[in-house]
Amino acid sequence: MISLPDLATFEVGSRFEAACGPVTTTQLVRYAGASGDFNRIHYDHHYAVDAKLGGVIAHGMLTMAFMCRALTDRAGPRGSVSRVAARFLSPVRPGDTVTTIVTVSSRRDDSAQPGIDCDLAAFVGDRQVAEGKATVVWPDQEQARQHFGGERHG
């Protein structure tokens, strides 16, 4: 496994990309079971076409989960996503790969709960499918000193 720089070392303005996919119909059915969202537009092609969607679409919250995965893969062993908000702009479909671009918008080095705020943009190819904001935090000042004392990326 490739070692990636920990998010705690990123400066304001730093950015990176992470891809998830391709999305599968099996994944959509599993997500429906996990989330309790069994709307047929997420697994029944004919129903989704009749609903004028052009075919099956992924759950919006699954797209947001892909966006969060870009963060959790880099948050380090004690980091966690404490806040996330997203707006969905275009549907994601089976076969699509979702690429999330994460940009660090602010740091909270001196806060009681150190962390970073990020802007998120998710794309399928050149088409933006979602945008959002998230906060990643580390649990205590000692952990933050360990993280923030290291090499910074920018």
Domains and CATH numbers, the chain: 7-23+59-148 (3.10.129.10), 24-57 (no CATH)
Indicate the pTM of the whole model.
0.84
| Residue 65 in this model has a pLDDT that exceeds 80 | yes
Q: Which two tokens stand for residue 80?
A: 């966690």
| Residue 95 in this model has a pLDDT that exceeds 60 | yes
Q: How far apart are the first and last CA of the chain?
A: 23
| Exposure string over 50-72, b if 16+ CB within 10 A, otherwise e | eeeeeebbbbbebbbbbbbbbbe
At 121 the pLDDT is 98
Mean pLDDT of the chain: 88
Judge contact between 105 and 119, C-beta under 8 A. yes
Backbone angles phi, psi at 64, to 5 degrees: -65, -35
Judge contact between 94 and 21, C-beta under 8 A. no
Averaged pLDDT, 64-77: 92
**DSSP assignment, residue 38?**
-
CA–centroid distance for 49 within its chain: 28
* Residue scoring higher pLDDT (79 or 44): 44
At 150 the pLDDT is 52
Band (76; pLDDT cuts 50, 70, 90): confident
At 1 the pLDDT is 47
At 75 the pLDDT is 86
Q: What percent of the chain has pLDDT over 70?
A: 86
